[in-house]
Amino acid sequence: MSTTRVRMSPDVRREQLIELGVRLFATRSLEDLSIETLADEAGISRGLLYHYFGGKQEFHTAVVRRAADHLFAVTAPDGEGSPLEQLAGSLARYVDYVAENYQGYVSLLRGAAGGHEGLREIYEDSRAALTERLFDGPVAEEAASLGLVDTPTVRLLVRGWAAFTEEVVLEWVRDDRGITREELLVTLSASLPGILAPLRPE
Amino acid sequence: MSTTRVRMSPDVRREQLIELGVRLFATRSLEDLSIETLADEAGISRGLLYHYFGGKQEFHTAVVRRAADHLFAVTAPDGEGSPLEQLAGSLARYVDYVAENYQGYVSLLRGAAGGHEGLREIYEDSRAALTERLFDGPVAEEAASLGLVDTPTVRLLVRGWAAFTEEVVLEWVRDDRGITREELLVTLSASLPGILAPLRPE
């Protein structure tokens, strides 16, 4: 093993710093994710970080956007099983993601809901991408069995279902009330067809 | 009719000012609900308002708490019909309330979600009171037919359902997407039994 320090391109270095920021973001709020913290953890100077990101705002935006990309990636349907099984798999990974990134996730929601426009845009984009999969992807191919026809009413209800899922999962992670992960997943998976049921032709 | 000015007790006057504040709050955000605006509308001096409320914060808290009381009152089950019909009636009045008080309601949610502790407390109390009715009240008496057994899982799902309903109604008021009020109400009323369905014994 060589101990020679590898000189990295600025782009690669910036990427690494964003990933480090995302890891730190898992267990702390945006307010607690300072340039100073990142500098300490990365072992580099604050000045260099300002060089890479311009400022705290840009740093936060880059970290939150990357965290949203991770969430999108880990919740991708795996192509195995029925649409409902694929949805259940995505939901299981969503639950685990929220559990592992609780502090940052809550602070993103709080910022987005509280009127921080930059965070709100990332949050809305992320939710739109996550729910779009239900209409255009492996789940959608047989989605009629879930009641997932692409109509304005179904889209509105899916938006509500996303709010439902977020609320239930955040609350469960905060306090599981003795409900097991398996019990949670059963009810979450069944909730979308349950919400859409009244729209289905008899 | 007498034109004599009636001298009111300070309590009655304060009550009237709160009610005026609630009416103003319907069509504007909390940020736009200033002591100055209230003074103009009530035709009294700012100094007198500070006398009644102490400050802007106390004025806002009094108005939001009263608005939450109104919401609770208008959505009371009317005791007519089946549990599902009573739920449908409450939901219809909730939809109309949000439509008529949209600006203030959105600004309350934003403040509560954004970490304003006073607003968050009023919002949480209000939601708890609204959903408690499902477990203790006329709807609850026959609630087994809705799947409303009082268990931790059902309570968690009801909390999620409240988030679902709020999201769907706010979005529909913002942009109805061609969905009629009747269509909206049909799907909202059916959503709670739909979400709870997987928990019901076969």
**What would the two tokens of residue A35 be?**
């340039």
- What are the chain A neighbours of B157 within 8 Å (beta carbons)? 168, 187, 191
Chain B residues in contact with A187 by the CB 8 A cut-off are 153, 157, 195, 198-199
Cβ-defined contacts of A65-74 (< 8 Å, 24+): A65/A122, A66/A18, A66/A19, A66/A21, A66/A22, A67/A22, A67/A25, A67/A101, A67/A104, A67/A105, A67/A108, A68/A122, A68/A123, A68/A125, A68/A126, A70/A22, A70/A97, A71/A97, A71/A126, A71/A130, A72/A126, A72/A129, A72/A130
Among the partner residues A114, A152, A198, nearest to B179 by beta-carbon distance: A152
Helix runs in chain B, H state only? 10-26, 35-42, 46-53, 56-74, 83-100, 102-113, 117-132, 138-141, 152-174, 181-196
Cβ-in-10-Å burial (0-12, 13-18, 19+) of A129 comes to middle
Q: What residues of A are in the B interface, CB distance below 8 Å?
A: 109-111, 113-115, 152-153, 155-157, 159-168, 171-172, 177-179, 183, 186-187, 190-191, 193-199
Q: Which two tokens stand for residue A144?
A: 């009629």
Q: What is the reported pLDDT for A5?
A: 62
> B202: which 2 tokens?
């076969």
Q: pLDDT by residue for chain A (202 residues), tens digit each?
A: 445 566 778 888 999 999 999 999 999 888 899 999 999 999 999 999 999 999 998 999 999 999 999 999 999 988 888 888 889 999 999 999 999 999 999 988 888 887 788 889 999 999 999 999 888 876 666 667 777 888 999 999 999 999 999 999 999 999 999 999 999 999 999 999 899 987 776 5
Tokens 């009294």 belong to residue:
B44
Largest interatomic CA distance in chain B: 70
pLDDT at A121: 93
Best residue in B94, B106, B156 for a mutation probing chain A (most A CBs within 10 Å): B156
DSSP summary character for residue B10: H
DSSP letter, residue A178: T
Residues in Cβ contact with A108 at an 8 Å cutoff, skipping those fewer than 6 apart: A30, A64, A67, A119, A122, A123
Tokens of A150: 């692409």
Smallest Cβ–Cβ distance between A156 and the set B157, B162, B171 belongs to B171
Cα(B22)–Cα(B16) distance, integer angstroms? 10
Output the pTM of the full model. 0.89
Q: What is the DSSP string of B71-123?
A: HHHHTS--S-S-HHHHHHHHHHHHHHHHHHTHHHHHHHHHHHHTT-HHHHHHH
Q: Among B152, B177, B198, select the one facing A186 at the smallest CB separation.
A: B198
What torsion, rounded to 10 degrees, do the Cα atoms B29, B35, B37, B43 define? 150
Strand, helix or coil for residue B175: coil
**If you search the block for the tokens 């409450």, which residue do you land on?**
B90
For the stretch B14-64, pLDDT in tens is 999 999 999 999 998 888 999 999 999 999 999 999 999 999 989 999 999
* Chain A residues touching B159 at Cβ < 8 A: 167-168, 171
CA distance A156 to B187: 10
For residue A26, give the nearest of A64, A69, A73 by alpha carbon.
Answer: A64
DSSP 8-state symbol, B197: G
Say yes or no: ipTM exceeds 0.90. no
- In chain B, which residues touch A (CB < 8 A)? 109-111, 113-115, 152-153, 155-157, 159-168, 171-172, 177-179, 183, 186-187, 190-191, 193-199
CA atoms in the 13 A half-sphere facing the CB of A189: 19
CA distance A24 to A26: 5
List per-residue pLDDT tens for chain B, 202 residues long: 445 566 778 888 999 999 999 999 999 888 899 999 999 999 999 999 999 999 998 999 999 999 999 999 999 998 888 888 889 999 999 999 999 999 999 988 888 887 788 889 999 999 999 999 888 876 666 667 777 888 999 999 999 999 999 999 999 999 999 999 999 999 999 999 899 987 776 5
Q: Which residues contact B132 (CB under 8 A, 6 or more apart)?
A: none
> How many residues appear in chain B?
202
pLDDT score recorded for residue B138: 65
Query: How high is the pLDDT of residue A113?
Result: 83
